[in-house]
Amino acid sequence: MMQVLSIKSGATTKEQCLSSGKLMILTGPSGVGKGTLMRTLLQRHPELYYSVSATTRAPRSGESDGINYYFVSRTRFEQLVANGEFLEWAEFAGNYYGTPRQPVLEKVNSGKTVLLEIELDGARQVRTSFPQAISIFILPPSLGELEKRIRSRNQDSEDAIARRLILAQDEIKAADEFDIQIVNDDFETALCSLEKAIFG
């Protein structure tokens, strides 16, 4: 089925013709388990395409450039914004994050299912540019459990944790804007719901 999409690129707007590819947006507060769900999903379904974002955040231990993120300086990120290289971008907890435009469009146009794991502001931008995108919000069983998970990861400073917990409350309030809500309480159950959302 052919779909005509309107893609906003900075000040310009252009139309793209997509074949059967699907664009899935996955959003949820920090620590809810998005990364863990994504990793497991990609292991089980290597045909899915995960969009690697650019960020100005410093790499965490175990993260690699080009795999988890493209780690760039603020200056470089701002150049990429100015060149219209991002499908969407946002500032989150003091750092920039953005989705490289070209690979996502190429993969969707070639019929692939593309997964974007992005925060709320970026998700809103993509939903405006791609109304056909399917958006999923991952919820924690409680705020207390969310804090436990962020801390158990043992990767963020107290300041980063505090910022993420404040942002989490606003993000959770927006869950109803999304097409599908999944509570990540039992991991396997959440993964199964995610698979249903993606594969129907």
Contact string 96-135 vs ligand ADP (x = CB under 6 A): ----------------------------------------
**Would you say 62 is a known binding-site residue?**
no
**Would you say 173 is a known binding-site residue?**
no
| Partners of 135 in beta bridges | 25
CB under 5 to 8 A by kind: which of ligand ADP, ligand GDP, none does 126 bind? none
Cβ closer to ligand ADP: 18 or 116? 116
User: Based on the number of CB atoms within 10 Å of its own CB, is 62 exposed (0-12), middle (13-18) or buried (19 or more)?
Assistant: exposed
Rounded Cα gap, residues 27 and 50, in angstroms: 14
DSSP state of 11: T
Interacting residues of 159 by C-beta distance below 8 A, sequence separation 6+: none
**Would you say 33 is a known binding-site residue?**
yes
154, amino acid identity: N
CB under 5 to 8 A by kind: which of ligand ADP, ligand GDP, none does 18 bind? none
* Closest residue to ligand GDP in the complex (CB): 122
**Would you say 144 is a known binding-site residue?**
no
CB under 5 to 8 A by kind: which of ligand ADP, ligand GDP, none does 152 bind? ligand ADP
Query: In which residue are the tokens 């709320």 written?
Result: 120
CB under 5 to 8 A by kind: which of ligand ADP, ligand GDP, none does 92 bind? ligand GDP
Rounded Cα gap, residues 24 and 142, in angstroms: 25
**125-126-130-136 Cα dihedral, nearest 10 degrees:** -120
Applying CB under 6 A, which residues contact ligand ADP? 28, 30-36, 149, 152-153, 184, 187, 190
Q: Which residues are annotated as a binding site for ATP?
A: 28-35
